[in-house]
Structure 1
Amino acid sequence: MTSGQTFQLSGRPAKTTVLFFYPKDNTPGCTTENMAFRDLHDKFQAAGAEIYGVSRDSLRSHENFKAKLGLPFELISDPEEALCQAFGVMKMKKMYGKD
């Protein structure tokens, strides 16, 4: 996690934890998604929720991405796809009819 801590879903300090998954740092859609969560961060906090973004990118990539966008929440690096698999977010991509 970008804070240098290890993420554990159990025992989170907030009453609600929001995990959002995205494919890759610094891509147009993922940048837009992260900026939307950034812009709504205060409302999530007011509701007692903590936000965490998850992708397979490295911590170094996450640190740069977080600084570039001014993200007030942590990003979780999941290079082995353990968290992605646990939540079933990994799907086979089809492009032009090919897997």
Structure 2
Amino acid sequence: MQNDIAIKEKFENDEKVAAIMEDASITAQVKYSLFNHKSTRAMKTSVSTIDRGVVIGCVAKSDAVKSLVGKLAKDIRGAIPTCFWFQTFWFQA
């Protein structure tokens, strides 16, 4: 029995596709982490990742929530939290 399996050369776009997939994976992990935490579950957030740099935008109720969102993003392996955009609002009783 003769096995004639040939390995083709690597495509030029392989690294670009891998980087895009990595960014998508990081975005999904950050969104999942925010959704899973009881304090950030109901927040409307936007998460995007470019070259492993995570950009998060949300409306936060307090500085503690801002800190929590940043910590959750930093805990994702491979993520580099670069920019957080928060709009803070306060409730009056």
Mark yes or no: TM-score above 0.5.
Answer: no
- Relative to the length of structure 1, the TM-score reads 0.30
Greater share of strand: 2
- Relative to the length of structure 2, the TM-score reads 0.31
- Structure with the larger RCO, 1 or 2 (CA within 8 Å, 6+ apart): 1
